[in-house]
A = this chain, B = another copy of it.
Amino acid sequence: MQEATSSPKIGAKSMGVADRSTPLLRNYWYVAAFSDEISRQPMRRTILEEDIVFYRTEDGKPVAVQNRCPHRSFPLHTGRVEGDRIVCGYHGMEFNPDGSCALVPALNTAPKAIRLDAYPLEEDGPLLWIWMGDPANPDYSRLIRQEWCTSPEWTHVKGYMYMKANYLGLHENLMDLTHFPFLHGKWNIARPEHAAAPSKIEEGEGFIRQREVHHDVGMPPALVEAVGMKAPFDREAQHMVQIPGMHQGRQITTDASDPPKADEQHIIHIMTPETQTSTHYMWAMARNNAVDDEELSEQIRVVGEGAFMEDKVALEDIEELVARDHRPNFREKIIKTDEGGIRVLRMFARLAAQEQEGMQEAIAAE
Contacts and interface: CB of A to CB of B under 8 A. Distances in A.
A140 interface: no
Contact of A196 (B5, B105, B325): B105
B172 A72 contact: yes
A68 B330 contact: yes
Contacts of A66: 325, 327
Contacts of A111: 4, 7-8, 10, 335
Oligomeric state, in number of copies? Answer: 3
A309 interface: no
Given A72-B332, A104-B335, A195-B106, A325 B178 contact: no
Interface stretch (A85-93, A259-267, A283-291, A350-358): A85-93
Q: Give the dominant DSSP class at A's interface.
A: loop
Contact of A178 (B67, B91, B176): B91
A321 B51 contact: yes
Interface string A66-83: 111011111100100000
Interface stretch (A124-132, A155-163, A179-187, A295-303): A179-187
A333 B113 contact: yes
A175 to B, nearest CB: 12
Nearest to A107: B8
B326 A2 contact: no
Interface string A328-361: 0010110111100000000000000000000000
Contacts of A68: 321, 325, 327, 330
Interface string A113-153: 11001000000000000000000000000000000000000
A314 interface: yes
Nearest to A115: B333
Nearest to A319: B73
A117 B183 CA distance: 24
A35 interface: no
A236 interface: no
A329 B114 CA distance: 14
Nearest to A6: B109
Contact of A182 (B92, B114, B332): B92
B92 A181 contact: yes
Contact of A103 (B2, B8, B74, B321): B2
Contacts of A87: 182
Contacts of A78: 317
Nearest to A74: B318
A294 interface: no
Contacts of A324: 46, 49, 51
Given A104-B335, A192-B92, A317-B74, A110 B4 contact: yes
A-B pairs with lowest CB-CB distance, top 7: A49-B326, A51-B325, A10-B113, A105-B195, A92-B182, A106-B337, A106-B178
